[in-house]
Structure 1
Amino acid sequence: MRAFLLLFFFGYCYLYSFQTIAQNVMLQFQDISFEDGISDSRVGNVIQDKEGFVWLTSRLGIDKYNGQTMKSYQFLQEKQAEINTLIQSDKGNILVATTRGLYFLNTEKDKFDLWQSQDSVLNNHLDSNIHTINQLKDGKFICSSATGFVFTLSFEERDSTTTHQFLKFPNGSTENYGTALFQDKNEVVWMGTSRGDLWVYKGDGFKPTSFTKSNNKVYINDIVVDEIGEIWIGTNGNGLFQYNPDLHRIKHYMSSNSNTSQSINNNMILCLYADTKNNIWIGTDGGGLNLYSKTNNKFSYFQSDSYSKYSISDNAILDISPGQDNVIWTGTVHGGISYFKNNMTLYNIPPSKLGIDQKDKQESRILQANDGDLWLTAGRNGLRRYNPKTGKLSLFTDNPEDESDLSGSNILSLYEDDQGRIWIGTLYGGLNIFNPKTDKFLKAEDWHKPRAIFTITQDKDDYIWVGSNTGIVVYNADLKIIEKYDINANLGLTSNVITSFYKDVKDEMWIGTAAGLNVFQQGRFKSYLPIQGDSNSISGSRILSIAEDDNLSVLIGTNGYGLNRYIRSSDTFKRIGKKEGLEATFIRGILQDDEKNIWCSTNLGLSKISPDGNVMNFNTYDGITPFKNSKASYGFNGYIYTANSFGLTYFKANDLTNNHSLNPNVFFTNISLINKKGIEVIPFKNYLKNELEINQLILPADNVMLTLGFATSNYWDPKKNTYTYKLDGFHKQWQTIGNQQILTFSNLKPGDYRLQIKALNNEGIESTHIASLNITALPSFWEKPWVIRSLFLLGIAMVFGLFKWRMSFINFQKRKLELMVKRKTELVETQTKKIYKNNLDLLNAEKANQELSQRQLENELNFKTDELTNHTLREIHKNKLLSKIKNDIAKEAKQNNNNNNLKAIVNLIDDSLNLDKDWDDFYNLFQQVHPSFISNLKKNWPNISDRELKLCALIRLNFSSQHIATLFGISESSIKVARHRLRKKLEIEENQSFQDFFERLMLEVST
């Protein structure tokens, strides 16, 4: 029994801790200010219409905002009026209650017109101070005026007929009039008055309620009815009232100096809004935005913070209204518009409660100890220990004069060992160990040596591993060093700068360094480094974080190179990046929640990777700020913690969802045309004809270029909006255009088109809302069908007539040409015959001349040949004669041995036979008949002798061997020997004659 009570007690403490910590709601605010084109920083009313436009009122008039541009309607100056209430009817009409009448938006003229009636009595009230207007469930409008009258109206735009009914309000007067009207879901109308009364309409008139027991005498600024029918009443200085009309129970909330979260923080309540989640939103004058959670019976406050750009812009809230995509809009006195997502999954402990200086933008590291206490660093201001059950805070700072306290105020790492001791790694302060049991700091061996301790963990033997800028030091339970590892130990460690530790399921220690990933196995370090061009290697060398997923794969976060998953079976890495949906590249922390989801602390925020691989990214729009030097922490109670100068933020891991729009509405914002006159920008409505809710755009005939602007109802994270469109009649497929919000079409041909635009949310899911526009491009005069048909027929007629005329003309020209051709042909024939005869005569004369010349040449050649032959024969005859005389004289001389004179005569005859003069004459004649014969022989056979040249010449003239022997004065047998030698020198084949050889030689030379 005692054990059960103890278990119940600890369980209660745990639940109490959970309930205590889970009630500090955190909201992220965004603003619309002067930078966005707002006319005035004082925004009295703000609504988002059905299309998605935001309308706001100021002292200058009304502004309309489409997410890109602001348009102002300034119509109050003439009557010097001020706006009291701005609403949109269920049919989309924009109605404005002012101090000088009721106005409505004339959509045809795109301007606000005064609402007037043919009833003069009603007009008197319509021209007065209409304090408030609201629409009833039956479509009628209920108004209250400062004259004390309450009346209903039926209104149709473009119709001046207005039906009305004055409602009975017994105490109505200029001193007591309706200030706030509200109809609940049971169609009961409630009204607050200027004297602080609450009235209810019962069918035959307004009746007072039991709220009179509250004795409230203060002006009622606003009333709302919540989901269970309770009425909330905001007063002008008397705080907030909660009224139950069935039980006649009244509860009064007033601000107090204790600020115990049990009441409002300001008594001036300017506006109220009750959402569907049982929350009451309260706008105050100076206390910011108050939130009452009926579920937790607790108030939360949201006030302007100069240190945070995500706080509400001003502490005076004039209006609160719901918008699309779960957005709530607020109008402020000095800060324009502030809006936020009504998604309360984040909770926050402000920095003031944690002793964190907001001026120091250092981020914090968080550790939830086993006793439930939260340990978090405070930038450069030491360490904090926060008890979420009691709210107790303990501060640990470095006092230089006290050696027993925290050493070093800049904390880099935190770890709790199995004995409950908190290990604290610092920058420049060494290693600290805090024992919660004794509330004292312990000193480990060589605790002061490391300059920067980045990571601490415990191995399978319960030894503590401390990683610093000088390597790894391993401590035992007695805080003694049992091992040191650095690159000098030659065990394979890649760097002395140790950035992260992780003990995996196999009890192996993974070590991240500034220069690679290491795993400690069997006394050595196995290292992994990026390999260029190898996608199976780790992506980066500087490791920031290590963890393990449910599939026992090791996850490694890098510095700028994304996330890696180590696959044990293949000893390879798989990279996880933008292709898989992970937008960030700096992975500073990795943790796994109870649902097996992986959470990555990144330079962009938090990324959640579900077991099926789906990635969701959370950023500042979701309330998650980027991690620059820290990481998120996971507590045993299922919360994820982050901390920085904004305090401690935490949420249930399975509660966080994207704040981005899931189904944004797309709407057109503007249109411009370029024609021959130039650029013409005209309000979009002026080009539309609304018939059966179909938008029809008529383009004039001189249109050259059409430009359409569009936007979505998602004002929260507009950079995440992407669009796709299709122009039916031009495109067959949808066209993706990214974040572009302008479409341009040039020179659209006359015809009918249908433009459709869809938005895609941050997860790539298409919106079900489609902005559609029917476009009719009008033809010019020359492009009109009847003109085209007429011109076509006229063209055919002209072509036919031209064809007939052309054929007639061609026939005439043909006949004329035939006659000319005939005449020309006869003339040409005559001239041709004449020319032919002349040419024939010339040819005959030239032929005769050529024949004469040929005969002359032949005669000359014959003469030369005969002369050469005769000369040669004469020489032969002479030589024969001389030879005979020589022989006779020689015979005589032989008989008369002593006759010297005869011998002398014989010698003279021999000399005569050998004289060359006659041969010179022979050569001259031979050269005339055969010009190149001698030179060709010398060219081809340079070593040929003059005697051999003479022999060749005589052979060429067909002289016999006998005649040649006579000319040379030798025997005929010697000539035969000479001819044989000559044949060998000239390389004449045996079956080839000298004449054939010489003919071939002359032929080769000529070619």
Structure 2
Amino acid sequence: MLLSLGTNSIAQQKVRVSLVKYGQSDGLSSYNIQQIIKDKNGFLWVASQDCLTRFDGKSFLSYTQQSLPKHRISGPDVRKIIEDTIHKALWILPNRDQLHVINTTNGDVIKNISIPNYANDDWNITMTNCGNNLWIGSFRGLKILNTKKWQFIPPPKKIQNHFINSEINCIGRDNFNNVWVCYTRYGIVIYNGTSLKKIKEIKLKDLGDRLGRNTIRVNDFTLVNNNEILFATDQGLRTVYFDRFYSLTVDNNPVKNLKVLNSCPIDAIKAIRHDDIIISGNGHLYQFNSALSNYVVYDESIGDAESKWINYVQSIYFDGDKIWLGCQQGIGMMKIISSPFAKYYYDEKTGNKLEHMRSICVLPNKDILCGLSSGLTLVNHGDNSFTTLDRAHLYHHIFFLGNNMAFLSTNQGMHVLKKKTIKSIESIYPELKSYKAHVVNSHVFVGDSVVIMGTECDDGILIWNYKRHYVKKIDTSSSPALASNTVNNIYHDKIGNLWVLSDKVITVINADFTISKSLDFASERKYPKLDLFFDMCEFNRSYWIASYGNGLIQIDDKWKVRKLIRQKDGLSNEGVYNIFNIRDSSLLITSNNGLSSYNIKAQKFKNYYIENGLQSNSFEEVTATAYHDKIYAGGINGFTVIDPSKLLVNKIPPILYLANVEVKLDNGQNLVNTSLDIKTLTIPNNWLQISISFTGINFEDPKRVTYKYRIKEIETNWINNGHRDLINIIGLPPNTYTIELKAANEDGYWSYPKTLIVKIEPKWFETWFFKLAMVVLGVIILNAFYHYRIKQIKIQQQIRRDIANDLHDDLGSTLNSIKIFTHLAIEKKQNISYLKEIEKLITSTTGGLRDMLWVLEDSRDDMNELLDRVKKFATPIAHANQIKLECYIEPELGNPNISKTEKRNLLLIAKEAINNSFKYAECQTIKVIVKPGTNKKILFSISDDGLGFDISNKSNGYGLNSMKNRAEQINYVLHYNSSPGSGTLITVEKK
């Protein structure tokens, strides 16, 4: 962690740190960072040489001269940012032309204020706010903007020195709301922040102009406490002490133990918590205590062809638990609690690199021996420098033997390192002469004189007592015997058993080395193919075994598999290498893709990758070791020192915002809302899709923020959106919906839900008025249909009554006649004539009944059926009387439907007219024609070429009256035309 430095001892220590870096390759639009602040919403705002940038941890939003109007600023070189939390705004100062005001809730530029220039080379440099005034320092002097009147007001009067209007690089405000203006060619002048009157001044000579240039450029300042300000100048650090009445004391040599900082250029300075001060100067980044007596130097771990950003810091921002560094190359982030990872790969002084680590050993003085695929390197703990000891061999395994010696195993056998010199093993330990060609890949110490070594090339294990100079080999042919001569690793458990891990089997040898047992998991029904055992540890009567390609195996003290933990359970990768028990509470597992920390009690994983500070995502088999509560783990790009005590749980959930709500309409337009505090949204009825993008600000691990959402009116359960920060909504019916979103950090801590109320307007046919109108219309239609049906029923009833009356009259009369003729036939002897009359009456009655049934039949209500019925009635009679009968419908009329009433009455009219022709006309031809009338409706005509009659002399008989009545019943008009010798024409036409 950042050290809390005491005042009683001198600390000149290098602390290795890893920066989280954001450069142009990550989306940052510009380098040369001049200022960083964080607004109250949690966004970073970055002033750079090229533009202004807003950053949420994942994406960058740039403000340039070429941006859209709402994100457009006047100049490329942004010098200063100040937040006005009361008005939810940022003040942005480019080096020329205009001052800009940005609304922090939606990120839009809402105001531009022209800045007066004193000359063509008058560039804006710095700014501070005090009350209602903005104090702007430029290359040519001081400018003050009154933010109530939005007008520039005259600055304080000139001081007697004519250089007072020269360059101002820094303006500060103290805790008494007074303003300190740093004139490069004059000194520091303190003004009352309200009245603008001068309070005190510090001239150049009082600031120690060591170079005699009559200029001191102040680059930065920080309040150490209410009565002390520390200035960063181009001639070193300066401290000014003052009281409430501004009695001033200047210390031009405030640093006692690193005096170069009193005279070299200081670029940036920032007081942080615990009264510590971060200083960028002399090509380094320092942390001092408040007395400037003790310090540490931060050393950044870098890779090949990388530069140390930490040596080029131009601005510093303290964020409570992080320090943001504005560097020449981009943005760097350093945690207050230092990273649990310190990586080692490249030494910029020598150019040496740790390429593909194969073994590692920490020496008692904390120097580190690194066995590589092609050499041996010593890493100095004090200055982190690399010393190459060998470049020719592959180093499989290294361990410290004592007596300032280290055991080395290369691809050519065993060696010893003594005083940085590599010697043959037999020169120090003759008992190993017979085994010097063996390649060792693992070891464990037993007691203070025995080391057991696992061999690489199927040679079993070696038990070596290096004090008694005794060596014993154990393999598949010895007693006790190994189940396999292949050795991947060995482990010595708490009760003294030795576990020899092979590819397919594990051999367990008891503490007395008298009995061995094999464990191959072949009998495990659920896990029959477990193999490639690379490492193990134990905890609480359980053993945890790293099985490469399978994951993590948990077995009990009876050697039965209890659990197999895989990637789906949260493990970073199933290609696991080494496993460590961390304080009987968690396991630390290296793998082929990342590092996993497993909380045994909570059964939860937290995974770490290169972006979290690892040397790479890939570790290597048996290339990790524990030393003094730290884990040293190697891989393809050097090694990482892991401090498990700093693998802390992040309990701070992300800050969740709705970043953008876009509504696509069916007319091609899009409605966009970018306000961070949007709570309700009304959607027009012609919408197609709602796209809601959001951001969970979590600078700890921004790529692993996860999201969930739900629409409460539709789903009570949360929908997991993974790492995707966008949802699309389509097809919702008009209503008011509550959309809830929440975000979780990498440790599963969820934010409070963010709510958006969406009101979807209905289309015109979905409104309540339209629906009510439809209900009313439906009632009207149903009522009309009801009355129509009643009318139809009444008509049907009338038809039935008419038919019943006809049947009663005709059938009753006919039956009465039949009764009379029957009686006469019985009484009279010559009864043949009566019987014939009876037959005629029965035939007539049968025809009438058939006609009535035909009328009532629903499937025959058209003119064709009517004409067919007329033909059936008239054809036999016409044939018997040798009369030609013509019946047809003219094609223009088609075949119109007719009602039952029409059927009945038209049929009876036709029968009446045809009967009259048969009886009285003595005609040769009868024509029955259906055709369009004058109004293109039905015209039904019956004509004959018979005798005819004189209409004027012929009174209307019963037959004509009956036909007229029937026509009127069906809303038809009956016409007849006749003259003696010209036949008769009767027409019935629909009105």
TM class by smaller structure: 0.5 to 0.7
Which residue in 2 is equivalent to 1:250? Answer: 251
| Alignment partner of 2:525 out of 527, 530, 534 | 534
State the distance in 2 between where 1:253 and 1:590 align: 49
Aligned to 1:712: 696
Q: Structure 2 vs 1, CA of residues 353 and 318 (structure 1 numbering), >3 Å: closer, same or farther? A: closer
Determine helix, strand or coil for the equivalent of 2:687: coil
Whole-angstrom CA distance in 1 between matches of 2:423 and 2:792: 123
The alpha-carbon distance between structure 1 residues 238 and 487, as it changes in their structure 2 partners (threshold 3 A), is same
TM-score by length of 2: 0.67
Aligned residue among 572, 578, 596 for 1:583: 572
Please say if residues 44 and 318 of structure 1, whose CA atoms lie closer than 8 Å, have aligned partners that are also in contact: yes
Counterpart among 758, 761, 772 of residue 745 in structure 2: 761
Tell me the equivalent position of 1:628: 620
Correspondences of 1:385-784 after superposition (within 5 Å): 388=381, 396-397=389-390, 409-417=393-401, 420=403, 422=405, 424-434=407-417, 442-443=425-426, 444-446=431-433, 450=437, 452-459=439-446, 462-468=449-455, 469=457, 470-477=459-466, 482-489=471-478, 493-521=482-510, 523-531=514-522, 534-535=525-526, 540-549=530-539, 551-569=540-558, 571-578=560-567, 581-593=570-582, 597-609=586-598, 612=601, 615-625=605-615, 626=617, 627-629=619-621, 631-636=623-628, 638-642=629-633, 650=641, 652-657=643-648, 662-678=652-668, 680-685=669-674, 695-768=679-752, 770-784=753-767
Provide the residue aligned with 2:273 in structure 1. 276
- 1:7-26 aligned at under 5 Å gives the runs 23-26=14-17
Map 1:107-118 → 2, pairs under 5 A = 111-112=108-109, 114-116=111-113
Q: Partner of 1:84 in structure 2?
A: 79
Q: Where does 1:105-504 land on structure 2 (aligned, <5 Å)?
A: 105=102, 111-112=108-109, 114-116=111-113, 130-136=124-130, 141-149=134-142, 151=144, 153-154=146-147, 170=159, 175-185=165-175, 187-195=177-185, 197-202=187-192, 204-209=197-202, 213-216=206-209, 217-226=215-224, 230-235=228-233, 237-245=234-242, 248=249, 250=251, 252=253, 267-282=264-279, 287=283, 291-292=287-288, 297-301=294-298, 305=302, 307=304, 316-322=312-318, 326-333=321-328, 335-346=329-340, 348=342, 358-363=352-357, 365-369=359-363, 371-380=364-373, 382-384=375-377, 388=381, 396-397=389-390, 409-417=393-401, 420=403, 422=405, 424-434=407-417, 442-443=425-426, 444-446=431-433, 450=437, 452-459=439-446, 462-468=449-455, 469=457, 470-477=459-466, 482-489=471-478, 493-504=482-493
> 3-state SS of the aligned residue for 1:409?
coil
Cα root mean square deviation, aligned: 4.8
Aligned-partner residue type, residue 472 of structure 2: E
**Conserved? CA contact 1:289–1:303, under 8 Å:** no
Higher normalized helix content (fraction of residues)? 1
Helix, strand or coil for the counterpart of 2:91? strand
TM-score under structure 1 normalisation?
A: 0.67
Cα 1:390–1:601 change in 2 (3 A) is same
Question: CA offsets per residue over residues 614-657 of structure 1, 9 Å max, x none?
Answer: 55434334323342345443333x44444668777546542342
Could you list the per-position Cα deviations for residues 137-156 of structure 1 after superposition, in whole angstroms to 9, with x for gaps in the alignment? x576444455533536335x
1:220 to partner: Cα distance: 1.6
Alignment-mate amino acid for residue 149 of structure 1: L
**1:210–1:245 CA contact under 8 A, matched in 2:** no
Distance 2:163 2:610 in 1: 51
1:311-344: CA deviation from partner (whole Å, max 9, x where unpaired): 7669644443355x844444444x3444444432
Cα-to-partner distance string for 1:660-685 (whole Å, 9 max, x where unaligned) = 6832111122233222223x445423
- For structure 2, the 5+ residue unaligned runs are 1-5, 67-71, 210-214, 816-841, 850-991
Letter in 2 for 1:736: N
Aligned pair 1:796/2:779, yes or no?
yes
User: Is the CA contact (8 Å cut-off) linking 1:458 and 1:465 kept in structure 2?
Assistant: yes
Given that 2:74 and 2:98 are in contact with CA atoms closer than 8 Å, whether structure 1 keeps it comes out as: no
What are the superposed Cα offsets for residues 464-522 of structure 1, whole Å, 9 maximum, x if unpaired? 32211222222233675642222354865233221211222222211112232211135
Q: Which amino acid aligns with 2:484?
A: S
User: Secondary structure of the residue that 1:344 maps to in structure 2?
Assistant: coil
- Residue deviations 1:159-196, cap 9 Å, x none? x7669785677469674354323334554543333337
For residues 6-44 of structure 1, give each alpha carbon's deviation from its aligned partner in whole angstroms, at most 9, with x where no partner exists: xxxxxxxxx9xx9989741312322142553x4444544
CA 711–358 in structure 1, closer or farther in 2 if over 3 Å, else same:
farther
Determine if contact 1:241/1:251 at 8 Å carries over to the other structure.
Answer: yes
- Partner SS state of residue 505, structure 1: coil
Q: Is the 8 A contact 1:504 1:548 kept in 2?
A: yes
Corresponding residue for residue 90 of structure 2: 94
Change (3 A) 1:727 1:169: farther
Distance 1:249 1:32, change over 3 A: same
Q: Any idea what the Cα deviations from partners look like across 1:333-372, whole Å, max 9, x if unmatched?
A: 4x34444444324575866679986544222644344x44
Q: For the residues of structure 2 that align with 1:78 and 1:611, how far apart are their CA atoms?
A: 54
Contact 1:150/1:169 (8 A) holds in 2 = no
Deviates more, 1:352-361 or 1:728-737: 352-361
Q: Which residue of 1 aligns with 2:945?
A: none
Kindly provide the CA deviation profile for residues 538-563 of structure 1, in whole angstroms up to 9, marking residues without a partner as x. 973212113333x3533322222222
Unaligned runs of 5+ in 1: 1-14, 399-407, 838-1007
Residues 1:221 and 1:498: Cα distance change in structure 2 (over 3 Å): same
Which digits, 9 at most, give the CA deviation of each residue in 1:675-700, with x for residues without a partner? 2223x445423xx6x9xx65332212
- C-alpha distance in 2, partners of 1:619/1:238? 42
Alpha-carbon spacing, 1:224–1:682, altered in 2? closer, same or farther (3 Å) = farther
Cα distance change on mapping 1:269 and 1:831 into 2, 3 Å: farther
Structure 1 residue aligned with 2:101: 104
Comparing 141-150 with 820-829, which one deviates more in the overlay?
820-829
The one-letter amino acid of 1:250's match is D
Among 41, 44, 59, the residue aligned to 1:51: 41
Counterparts in 2 of 1:252 and 1:163: CA distance versus 1, 3 Å: same
Correspondence for 2:882: none
Helix, strand or coil at the partner of 1:800: helix
Describe the SS at the equivalent of 1:495: coil
CA distance in 2, matches of 1:558, 1:317: 45
Q: Secondary structure at the match of 1:719?
A: helix
Q: 1:647 to 1:571 in 2, by over 3 A?
A: closer
Give how far 1:731 is off.
3.2
Shift of 1:703: 0.8
Amino acid in structure 2 at the alignment position of 1:696 = T
**Higher CA-based Rg:** 1
8 Å CA contact 1:81, 1:100 repeated in 2:
no
Distance 1:209 1:784, change over 3 A: farther
